[in-house]
């Protein structure tokens, strides 16, 4: 389905599956979905209620809860302190199942350090731009300096050309990232759905960014749906929530606990 066909469709928040919330598998993006963006990725603030909500929801779902993020797994664990939660990091390049096993890891390939150094040199005159190192990836953020967008995108294209076909560019919200080709959040969602406790459940994917569209599509193919967070349109998602606080409150309701603070 072309995302443009949904551009004028007013999304509505879905009810739980007919069989109840216990029949769902919930997949959540992090930045812009569970927590608000910050000028720099290392300055984000995790709401005090979030860990409690996720723990209660995981118990309600018998473990069928996962985080799908562009951040590395290590950083997800530092932010959420939920090291046993199923998760995909680095846009699916890293994968951890609900049993704690990690079938997919990623390490720097030769040459990536030189590309990072080149990006920093090219963008040194833009002090608000952040060159973020990720495992075998480079994310260029211009949220703190919007006027640097063209310079950042041009630099990203140059490093992609130098990196070769095993890498691709991924656009996002005030960020463009060079990452390994062949994996995305949709691929990660589909792989997790093959392993306990996810099989047979209805997948819900909640996310805000372009990088979440792959996972919306994967959830749809498996009989589920996407929930878009915030105003971005068009989207494949058929349902919506207005922002991060609304997401936390909705998840708290599903988990059967009090609403989120902040």
CA distance 182 to 106: 13
Question: What residue spans of the chain are helical by DSSP H?
Answer: 50-60, 73-80, 112-122, 149-163, 185-192, 213-221, 244-255
- Sign (positive/negative) of CA torsion 192, 186, 236, 65? positive
**How far is it, in rounded angstroms, from Cα 141 to Cα 63?**
33
Q: How far apart are CA 133 and CA 89, in angstroms?
A: 13
Active site residue 29: yes
Catalytic residue (one of 8, 29, 133, 212)? 29
Residue 172's DSSP bridge partners are 175
β-bridge pairing 202-207 and 24-28 = parallel
Q: Which residues are catalytic?
A: 29
């Amino acid at each position: 389905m072309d995302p443009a066909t949904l551009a004028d469709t007013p999304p509505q928040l879905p009810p739980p599956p007919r069989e109840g919330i216990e029949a769902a598998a919930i997949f959540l993006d992090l930045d812009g979905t569970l927590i608000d963006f910050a000028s720099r990725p290392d300055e984000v603030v995790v709401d005090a209620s979030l860990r409690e909500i996720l723990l209660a929801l995981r118990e309600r779902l018998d473990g069928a809860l996962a985080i799908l993020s562009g951040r590395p797994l290590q950083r997800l664990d530092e932010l959420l302190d939920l090291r046993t939660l199923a998760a995909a990091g680095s846009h699916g390049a890293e994968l951890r199942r609900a049993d704690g096993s990690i079938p997919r890891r990623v390490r720097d390939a030769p040459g990536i350090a030189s590309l990072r150094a080149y990006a920093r040199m090219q963008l040194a005159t833009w002090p608000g731009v952040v060159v973020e190192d990720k495992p075998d990836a480079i994310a260029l953020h211009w949220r703190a300096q919007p006027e640097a967008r063209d310079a950042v995108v041009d630099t990203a294209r140059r490093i992609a050309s130098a990196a070769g076909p095993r890498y691709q560019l991924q656009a996002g919200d005030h960020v463009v990232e060079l990452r390994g080709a062949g994996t995305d959040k949709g691929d990660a969602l589909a792989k997790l759905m093959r392993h306990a406790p996810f099989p047979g459940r209805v997948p819900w994917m909640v996310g805000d960014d372009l990088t979440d569209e792959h996972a919306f599509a994967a959830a749809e193919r498996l009989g589920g749906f996407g929930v878009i967070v915030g105003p971005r349109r068009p989207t494949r998602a058929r349902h919506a929530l207005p922002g991060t606080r609304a997401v936390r409150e909705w998840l708290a309701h599903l988990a059967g606990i009090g609403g989120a603070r902040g």
